[in-house]
Amino acid sequence: MSGIDQFRAASGTLVDVRTPSEFAQGHWPGAINIPLFGDEQRAIVGRTYKQKGRKQAIELGLSFTGPALVDLSKALTKAAGGPDQPLRLYCWRGGMRSNSMAWLAALKDHPTLVLEGGYKVYRRWVLEQFERRWPVQLLGGRTGTGKTDLLIALQALNVAVVDLEGLAHHRGSSFGGLGQPNQPSTEHYENGLAEALDGYRKRQAPQIWLEAESSSVGCCRIPKALFEQMQQAPVLEIRRKLEERIDQLVEVYACQDPDQLRQATERIQRRLGPQRTQAALEAIKDQRWRDACSAMLDYYDRCYDHDLKQARETSNLDLSGRNAQAAAIELLNTGRVVAIDAP
């Protein structure tokens, strides 16, 4: 058995042996799911434990896993990358499921490490990360200023960036889920954020850049403690000419399904107002993408300007005429953004 610090520092493929539904709800990012039980099997074993006791539950569990041992053993070896390779295993509490799989892996001479306390301990570690003080800096800007592209370009230049929208599979507006994979649960979103922050802690990043967001990115909620730090962080506001912003939005959304664009527009019609909503819907119908974007920008600009007033410290920079890569280089050269020393 291993404490979480030792477990994190160890080598070996990370294997989550919980059920598929447990894994889908949230797991250690990068882990492979090799479930000892299926969802229904685990439910039956759990009921048996409560009603008939531990021995009966173990016997029932063995009846489920016995026929599957060969397949489980092969899956563990494949996950490890071959015979004799190390594995790190965890279940919900670090109990029978992970220890049983460790026993099976040892039959093939895989060095194994089991996480003491299991995924519950990992989740405790995740939540503790958001209580740390982080050198947070925010990149702001009205809709269409290309904030996400700029953050990605900065990250390519060795700047510490945590992509809140990328981890959430959502761009943060009514239209934010279009063309994106399904969103993770908030639990799994937190796991990804914690791992990203911890990676920069180890590299002693002088700044960690996040996009200025509301407390939710689609259905994913930013952890309260981290969001409170964001509310206190300085904001660098990116500005671009209106035509460039519209170009950016057309590039992102004109390729999306028109029916989904219409539905996203209708979701915010109360805030857009009847005239802007009608203008946007007609433009979408006629595939007049620039007109559709223009019809909605006034609403989104007013929302952004209101949020910006809440920021404690702001500065701005007009990046009109520069692409994301050129803008990122300018930010570094002027000292507004500081890169991490090469690892």
pLDDT in tens, 309-324: 676 678 999 999 999 9
Query: Within this chain, do residues 196 and 312 fall inside the same structural domain, yes or no?
Result: yes
With tokens 């203008």, the residue in question is 279
**pLDDT surpassing 90 at residue 42:** no
Mean pLDDT of 197-210: 96
Query: Within this chain, do residues 44 and 75 fall inside the same structural domain, yes or no?
Result: yes
Helix/strand/coil for 232: helix
State yes or no: is 91 an active-site residue.
yes
Helix, strand and coil percent figures for the chain, each rounded to 5: 55, 10, 35
Domain membership of residue 307 as a residue range: 134-333
Count the domains in the chain. Answer: 2
Q: Which of 330, 288, 303, 32 is nearest to 173 (CA)?
A: 303
Set 91, 219, 220, 293: catalytic member: 91
**CATH label of the domain that carries residue 76:** 3.40.250.10
Whole-model pTM: value is 0.91
Query: Within this chain, do residues 203 and 111 fall inside the same structural domain, yes or no?
Result: no
Confidence of residue 1 (pLDDT cuts 50, 70, 90): low
Neighbours of 63 (CB within 10 A): 11
Q: What values do phi and psi take at 15, rounded to 5?
A: -125, 125
**pLDDT surpassing 90 at residue 201:** yes
Query: Within this chain, do residues 269 and 163 fall inside the same structural domain, yes or no?
Result: yes
**Could you tell me if residue 117 is left (phi over 0), alpha (psi between -120 and 50 degrees) or otherwise beta?**
left
| Cβ contact 333:314 at 8 Å | no
Last residue of a domain, one of 92, 127, 162: 127
The total number of residues written for the chain in this structure: 343
Which tokens hold the place of 242? Answer: 């209106």
Neighbours of 16 (CB within 10 A): 28
